[in-house]
């Protein structure tokens, strides 16, 4: 039986698809097969496993720099020399375009802690590090001198853990490592860098103020795979894309953070949470924690950035500006009372402008209303929208956290006020916007000792504050002198050449320092002038004191050479090449000056004992072995030519 055809027309061949038609008709294209849910899950799992394998591989081969905060420097078998890692800042900052090679000098201590040692770990930012001074001008150095005097039966060591340009995000992580180093006391002075330090909300490496997001940001930066990707990007990134300028300019991304902004509030809350984490870690490690309030330049630094209220109308701003300009004119004419009246008219329009409050504080000071001036100076600092100085509220947070966790709170501010004319803190104790002078560092250490003496919990042996050495005694022991002070001023002078000082009223600091430095340089003569000339033209980290000592040695003045070499050693990092040069210079000066058999024997013994130190230093700095070997050979040759 034949089948009935649906279409009786003859079967025609289908036309070939046109070259412009895109191939087969839409309804006849092969459809993409959709992945089922378990296939998608398997693909995600495979990708995750692959990333884990890559991460583990990079970790096993040791890719990238060691970014631990505490690292071993030398293994002596029964003990290890540990050090604070100067490269640890990269964990939070990444690479910056800096002339300064490191953010923190090496600090050394022995692991395990020698018997009878009372170990203090002093953590913080550039202030704790000692900037702009050498290590012997820092608060940790002064504290060690004071505690040794107060507790003569203890072997006291204060380890300086200060690092430039970091903040509480770094400290909360590094504290975990520091607490494993057997400290008997952990001290924290921090809070100025919360906005522009690593991961600060106003910095280049910031991730906002959402705490979970910042913690995730830090976790991701710790991955070796992320470091690898970052390194690859850096290879192809043009040099012009790298941050430019001095350190402060590179760090500050958001340069207007008002006091009433969400960024400010979020940063303050994260600071509190980070301090709480550190306090909890110290409590779990059974290590007493000391938290310090913050000080900065209030009187002599014009606010760096002033902002108006957001709701000001153009008419109000115009009226405000007229009052402000008139107040400045009265100020310059020394018409203080009239200036106050005009400034107060401006505050009725907008009292959140930092420079207005600062100028009002100046007029109050001129009229002798010092208490009012102090409050206004502090208010002006707090309103400064370029947040390089911590506000009063941050010190209040420190006090509150210390109280809640039964930590020892050290209020540094009263000692600074008592040492300042009329209680107004300025250039008398500050080198710039927040870094203390050497005397300021002494006061910080003294405040800590006095707080320990008042500690009702009796966590440590009592301190007789009457036995604490005076400032002059401490500076002599630590080797601080006028030359040290001038080197610090030269450092600050370079800082003030750029942002945020240049082109502002605060550029006056740069001009003043220039005059002081030039006057000092003109006063130099003889070997001191020669040493200064060699230092200023030699690209090295050697202390000025070393070059002056060398000039005195060449001139045959061995007594002066010995003094300057010793001070150069005190200013140098332990087991560094500058320290080695200072020690070897001291040895040569002692050999040359020895006039009696006993003196010659003492000098030869010093040279002999210096040899193992040089070997250790060479092991810690293998890239500088040639320089260490040259110093060792010079000593051996000089010793051979010296009569016994």
For residues 567 and 432, membership in a common domain is answered with no
Q: Residue 115: what pLDDT?
A: 94
Q: Which of 440, 428, 539, 431 is nearest to 494 (CA)?
A: 431
The answer to whether position 10 is within a domain reads no
- In 61-155, which residue ranges form alpha helices assigned H by DSSP? 90-93, 126-129, 139-150
pLDDT in tens, 225-255: 988 888 888 788 776 555 667 778 888 888 9
- pLDDT tier at 639 (50, 70, 90 boundaries)? confident
pLDDT at residue 33 above 90? no
CATH code, domain with 332: 1.25.40.10
Are 573 and 101 in contact, with CB atoms under 8 Å apart?
no
Domain final residue pick, 329, 349, 383:
383
Q: Residue 5: what pLDDT?
A: 38
Are 85 and 67 in contact, with CB atoms under 8 Å apart?
yes
Q: Residue 239: what pLDDT?
A: 61
- In 459-596, which residue ranges form alpha helices assigned H by DSSP? 471-478, 482-495, 507-523, 526-536, 544-554, 558-570, 577-593
CATH code, domain with 553: 1.25.40
Q: How far, CA to CA in Å, does 524 sit from each of 154, 553, 568? A: 42, 17, 18
pLDDT at residue 541 above 50? yes
To the nearest 10°, report the CA torsion of 184, 281, 143, 124.
150
The answer to whether position 6 is within a domain reads no
- pLDDT tier at 206 (50, 70, 90 boundaries)? confident
Q: How far, CA to CA in Å, does 59 sit from each of 87, 305, 427? A: 18, 44, 49
The answer to whether position 170 is within a domain reads yes
pLDDT in tens, 459-468: 899 999 999 9
Rg (Cα) of the chain, in Å, rounded? 32
The answer to whether position 458 is within a domain reads yes
For residue 344, what is the enclosing H or E element? helix 336-349
> Given the DSSP bridges, would you call strands 70-75 and 80-84 parallel, antiparallel or unpaired?
antiparallel
Q: Pull the structure tokens for residue 376.
A: 């206004």
State the angle between helix axes of 139-150 and 471-478 in degrees (0 to 180), rounded to the nearest 10. 110
In the predicted model, what is the mean pLDDT of residues 302-322? 96
Domain count, the chain: 3
Q: Residue 218: what pLDDT?
A: 92
- Return d(Cα 289, Cα 283) in angstroms, integer: 8
- Return d(Cα 98, Cα 251) in angstroms, integer: 11
For residues 95 and 134, membership in a common domain is answered with yes
Q: Which of 399, 422, 478 is nearest to 445 (CA)?
A: 478
To the nearest 10°, report the CA torsion of 86, 90, 92, 93.
110
Domain final residue pick, 359, 383, 407:
383
Percentage above 90 pLDDT, the chain: 77
At residue 209, the 3 state secondary structure works out as coil
For residues 455 and 562, membership in a common domain is answered with no
Q: Residue 86: what pLDDT?
A: 85
For residues 464 and 548, membership in a common domain is answered with no
The answer to whether position 2 is within a domain reads no
Are 437 and 486 in contact, with CB atoms under 8 Å apart?
no
In the predicted model, what is the mean pLDDT of residues 383-411? 98
Are 91 and 238 in contact, with CB atoms under 8 Å apart?
no
- In 237-289, which residue ranges form alpha helices assigned H by DSSP? 247-251, 262-284
The DSSP result for 369-417, as a single string, is -HHHHHHHHHHHHHH-SS-SS--HHHHHHHHHHHHHTTPEEE--HHHHH
**Comparing 35 with 594, which gets the higher pLDDT?**
594
pLDDT at residue 25 above 90? no
In the predicted model, what is the mean pLDDT of residues 365-370? 98
Q: Residue 8: what pLDDT?
A: 43
For residues 415 and 554, membership in a common domain is answered with no
For residues 224 and 326, membership in a common domain is answered with no
For residues 243 and 224, membership in a common domain is answered with yes
Q: Residue 531: what pLDDT?
A: 95
pLDDT in tens, 80-98: 999 999 888 888 886 664 5
For residues 295 and 339, membership in a common domain is answered with no
pLDDT at residue 567 above 60? yes
CATH code, domain with 205: 3.40.50.1110
pLDDT at residue 100 above 50? no
pLDDT in tens, 208-222: 999 999 999 999 989
For residues 94 and 185, membership in a common domain is answered with yes
Percentage above 70 pLDDT, the chain: 91
The DSSP result for 532-550, as a single string, is HHHHHTS-S---HHHHHHH
pLDDT in tens, 488-531: 999 999 999 999 999 999 999 999 999 999 999 999 999 999 99
pLDDT in tens, 401-452: 999 999 999 999 999 999 999 999 999 999 999 999 999 999 999 999 999 9
pLDDT at residue 7 above 70? no
Collect all residues with Cβ–Cβ distance below 8 Å to 209 and sequence separation of at least 6: 201, 262, 263, 265, 266, 267, 269, 270
User: What b/e string do you get for 161-195 counting C-beta neighbours within 10 Å, with b at 16 or more?
Assistant: bbbbbbbbbbbbbbbebbbebebbbbbbbbbbbbb
To the nearest whole number, what is the mean pLDDT of the chain?
A: 91
pLDDT at residue 478 above 80? yes
The answer to whether position 369 is within a domain reads yes
Q: How far, CA to CA in Å, does 626 sit from each of 568, 580, 633, 636? A: 21, 13, 11, 15
The answer to whether position 59 is within a domain reads no
Q: Residue 641: what pLDDT?
A: 83
Q: What residues make up the domain containing 373?
A: 314-383
For residues 141 and 74, membership in a common domain is answered with yes
At residue 290, the 3 state secondary structure works out as strand
To the nearest 10°, report the CA torsion of 183, 185, 189, 193.
30
- Return d(Cα 194, Cα 171) in angstroms, integer: 11
- pLDDT tier at 539 (50, 70, 90 boundaries)? low
pLDDT in tens, 332-352: 999 999 999 999 999 999 999
Cβ neighbourhood burial of 578 (10 Å; 0-12, 13-18, 19+): middle
Q: Residue 96: what pLDDT?
A: 60
Domain final residue pick, 478, 498, 516:
478
Are 576 and 552 in contact, with CB atoms under 8 Å apart?
no
For residues 405 and 268, membership in a common domain is answered with yes
For residues 565 and 633, membership in a common domain is answered with yes
Strand order in the sheet with 70-75: 70-75, 80-84, 108-111
- Return d(Cα 293, Cα 415) in angstroms, integer: 11
The answer to whether position 306 is within a domain reads no
Q: Minimum mean pLDDT among 9-23, 49-63, 125-139: which range?
A: 9-23
Q: Which of 554, 494, 580 is nearest to 131 (CA)?
A: 494
DSSP 8-state code for residue 18: P
**Comparing 25 with 187, which gets the higher pLDDT?**
187
- Return d(Cα 484, Cα 475) in angstroms, integer: 10
């Amino acid at each position: 039986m034949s089948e009935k055809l649906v279409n009786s027309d003859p079967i025609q061949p289908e036309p070939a698809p046109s070259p412009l038609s895109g191939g087969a008709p839409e309804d006849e294209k092969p459809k993409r097969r959709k992945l089922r849910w378990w296939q998608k899950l398997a693909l995600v799992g495979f990708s995750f496993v692959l990333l884990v394998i890559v991460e583990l591989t990079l970790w096993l081969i040791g890719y990238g720099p060691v970014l631990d905060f505490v690292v071993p420097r030398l293994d002596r078998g029964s003990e290890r020399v540990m050090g604070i890692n100067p490269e640890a800042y990269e964990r939070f900052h990444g690479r910056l375009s800096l002339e300064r090679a490191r953010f923190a000098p090496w600090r050394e201590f022995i692991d395990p802690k020698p018997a009878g040692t009372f170990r203090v770990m002093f953590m913080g930012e550039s202030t704790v590090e000692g900037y702009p001074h050498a290590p012997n001008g820092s608060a940790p150095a002064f504290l060690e001198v004071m505690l040794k005097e107060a507790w003569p039966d203890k072997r006291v060591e204060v380890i300086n853990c200060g690092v430039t340009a970091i903040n509480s995000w770094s400290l909360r992580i590094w504290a975990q490592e520091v607490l494993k180093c057997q400290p008997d006391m952990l001290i924290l002075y921090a809070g100025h860098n919360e906005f522009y330090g690593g991961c600060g909300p106003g910095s280049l490496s910031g991730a906002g103020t959402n705490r979970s997001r910042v913690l995730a940001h830090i976790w991701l930066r710790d991955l070796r795979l992320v470091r690898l990707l970052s390194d690859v990007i850096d290879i192809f990134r043009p040099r012009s894309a790298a941050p430019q300028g001095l350190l402060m300019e590179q760090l500050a991304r958001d340069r207007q953070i008002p006091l009433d902004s969400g960024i400010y509030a979020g940063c303050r809350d994260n600071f509190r949470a980070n301090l709480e984490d550190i306090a909890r870690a110290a409590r779990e490690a059974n290590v007493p924690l000391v938290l310090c309030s913050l000080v900065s330049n209030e009187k002599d630094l014009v606010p760096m950035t002033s902002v108006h209220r957001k709701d000001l109308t153009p008419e109000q701003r115009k009226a405000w500006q007229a009052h402000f300009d008139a107040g400045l004119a009265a100020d310059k004419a020394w018409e203080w009372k009239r200036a106050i009246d005009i400034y107060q008219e401006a505050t009725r329009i907008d009292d959140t402008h930092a420079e207005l409050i600062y100028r009002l504080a100046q007029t109050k000071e001129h009229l002798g209303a010092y208490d009012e001036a102090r409050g206004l100076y502090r208010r002006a600092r707090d309103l400064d929208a370029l947040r390089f100085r911590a506000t009063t509220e941050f010190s209040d947070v420190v006090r509150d956290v210390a109280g809640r966790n039964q930590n020892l709170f050290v209020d540094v501010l009263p000692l600074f006020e008592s040492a300042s004319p009329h209680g107004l803190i300025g250039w008398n104790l500050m080198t710039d916007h927040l870094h203390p002078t050497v005397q300021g560092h002494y006061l910080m250490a003294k405040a800590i000792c006095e707080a320990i003496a008042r500690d009702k919990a009796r966590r440590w042996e009592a301190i007789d504050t009457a036995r604490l050495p005076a400032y002059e005694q401490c500076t002599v022991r630590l080797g601080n002198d006028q030359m040290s002070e001038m080197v610090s001023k030269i450092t600050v002078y370079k800082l003030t050449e750029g942002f945020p000082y240049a082109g502002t009223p605060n550029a006056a600091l740069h001009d003043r320092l220039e005059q002081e430095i030039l006057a000092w340089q003109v006063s130099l003569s003889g070997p001191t002038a020669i040493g200064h000339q060699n230092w200023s033209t030699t690209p090295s980290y050697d202390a000025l004191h070393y070059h002056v000592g060398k000039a005195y040695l060449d001139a045959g003045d061995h007594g002066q050479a010995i003094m300057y070499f010793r001070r150069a050693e005190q200013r140098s990092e332990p087991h560094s090449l500058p320290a080695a040069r200072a020690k070897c210079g001291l040895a040569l000066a002692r050999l040359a000056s020895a006039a009696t058999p006993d003196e010659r024997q003492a000098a030869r013994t010093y040279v002999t004992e210096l040899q193992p130190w040089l070997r250790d230093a060479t092991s810690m700095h293998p890239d500088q072995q040639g320089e260490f070997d040259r110093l060792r050979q010079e000593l051996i040759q000089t010793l051979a030519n010296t009569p016994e």
